[in-house]
Structure 1
């Protein structure tokens, strides 16, 4: 199931809420001791998750399909997508599988079963798995806004709300909602690049270095001011060291107000919402 993105968490007591983990959506397939791990797009990543696959052999089931997220946690327990990509290459022992749904168990198709029933069976299975590579994604049964405020205060990516009694099916769903935590910062515009379709993005930095790119979402006059600055302040090299991109680099002097998703050390899902140009 793919949750629908919403701006506010759902109200009422008809929902279970979970932390939205920042990782790779993964299904573990268990078949008579053989374990396979598949991405959301159906790619076999079994070899990328050796420690998780080994731990999954401890799940007490002949056959099962477990839905979850592969992540890496930082010292504070927050999932870190940048660290995840590094761990896939060099430190697979750092990977953790957060299990949140059970689709099949020993010949029984659980997808038509209510969410609470699937979760109860999953909780029993995961409780018997030794070690800490496979853990249950806990749920919160209570006020969605209160849970979101807690998630936001801890700098997490967001939350997923699942309708009580709902069944599981493939594809987009109105039974699962995701609410993301956003923040806004003022960053220096150091360049502009275009993607393969020609859409322009601002390249941004702060005092610690390059932070990433952001879609330029500006109204008419601000957008024209942005491009006037780009046309008149282009330089040959990147203004900070270590950024190797095919881009138009800019002299210092323009800052941008940027909205982006919390979590990680680089910008994600970022948009430029305002600019300010220093007077010469």
Structure 2
């Protein structure tokens, strides 16, 4: 038996076969809105870090700029708002209202800016103590954890309008960063590159009281951690150490004579000496009150210690930024001076021996 023809499975395109074939009307794109992303914006980017060097590397493949002394931040400008992410992964947009407002003005583009949040002194130098007064012990005691006068010195661009730029060479990212911030006036500024011999630049930076200089390989991709793609030269050594105790003051009952410090050696803490200079009177009182409020204090030192100081030992929680000239042969700080208290959220890398 012969089967009949199978009926068509699809309907005719047009009911009226004589009518002209037409496509749907396409809506025009709203140019005020950002383009649809090609790459998803990362929620957080682990920062590239500069490796400390005693001498600048040779060759013309390096670009140089001033080293800023503040808080490392990543500014995320998103369609839903602005996030300002610290190294510890915390959103500090509320702590930096000026930077947050400037980032909103950069829209509607979406981007991630890498840079340093700083407070400048009258000479235009970054002043970590001024930043610490707003966000450290003084700010915490007053309940005012805001740095309204902080600015953001941008030195890299990691994401722009749907494109993840981390696989591009640094010279390409830098070109896009300069275009993005061209003629922009606000609390977000471009960290300028300086075309000069690095040894001469470093000498001038130290003479002007700056912290140092940073060099970046022009052909490097953006990689987290200390890979050697970025290097730094510091005029004076400055590192974060854990506070493990304090020596009570004989003249000021509410203060202290010095802080006892520790660094990591492997997974253990080692005593590296003390710091008793660089403090303002108000900072001493605030810091002593903060240490006395720690969850517990210890009778025994939290580090191997055979010194003769009359010490009060505390939980190794607070992180002090300390400036020093050199190390002694037995790994103790020499000519140490206190710079400020690092916030835990800043996730400062405690120094490792």
Alpha-carbon spacing, 1:172–1:206, altered in 2? closer, same or farther (3 Å): closer
Q: Within the alignment, does 1:105 sit opposite 2:152 as a pair?
A: no
SS of residue matched to 1:77: coil
Structure 1 residue ranges (4+ consecutive) displaced by more than 6 angstroms after TM superposition: 206-212
Alpha-carbon spacing, 1:174–1:195, altered in 2? closer, same or farther (3 Å): closer
Higher strand share: 1
Q: In 1, Cα distance between the equivalents of 2:222 and 2:270? A: 38
Q: Within the alignment, does 1:39 sit opposite 2:111 as a pair?
A: no
**Normalized against structure 2, the TM-score is what?**
0.56
Alpha-carbon spacing, 1:208–1:108, altered in 2? closer, same or farther (3 Å): closer
**Matching residue of 2:190:** 136
1:132-161: CA deviation from partner (whole Å, max 9, x where unpaired): x11000012331111111111111111110
1:43-67: CA deviation from partner (whole Å, max 9, x where unpaired): 1111111111011111145211110
**Matching residue of 2:271:** 199
> Gaps spanning 5+ residues in structure 1: where?
184-189, 213-226, 237-244, 248-265, 276-280
Displacement of 1:70 after TM fit? 0.3
Q: CA RMSD in A?
A: 3.1
Match of 1:127 among 165, 169, 182: 182
Alpha-carbon spacing, 1:207–1:103, altered in 2? closer, same or farther (3 Å): closer
> Gaps spanning 5+ residues in structure 2: where?
1-47, 238-256, 264-268, 285-304, 314-320, 329-333, 336-353
SS of residue matched to 1:65: strand
Higher helix share: 1
SS of residue matched to 1:167: coil
Q: How does 1:138-153 map to 2 (within 5 A)?
A: 138-153=192-207
Q: In 2, Cα distance between the equivalents of 1:192 and 1:50? A: 33
Query: Is contact 1:25–1:40 with CA below 8 Å preserved after alignment?
Result: yes
Q: In 1, Cα distance between the equivalents of 2:107 and 2:312? A: 52
Alpha-carbon spacing, 1:272–1:16, altered in 2? closer, same or farther (3 Å): closer
**Normalized against structure 1, the TM-score is what?**
0.70
**Matching residue of 1:252:** none
Q: Within the alignment, does 1:30 sit opposite 2:77 as a pair?
A: yes
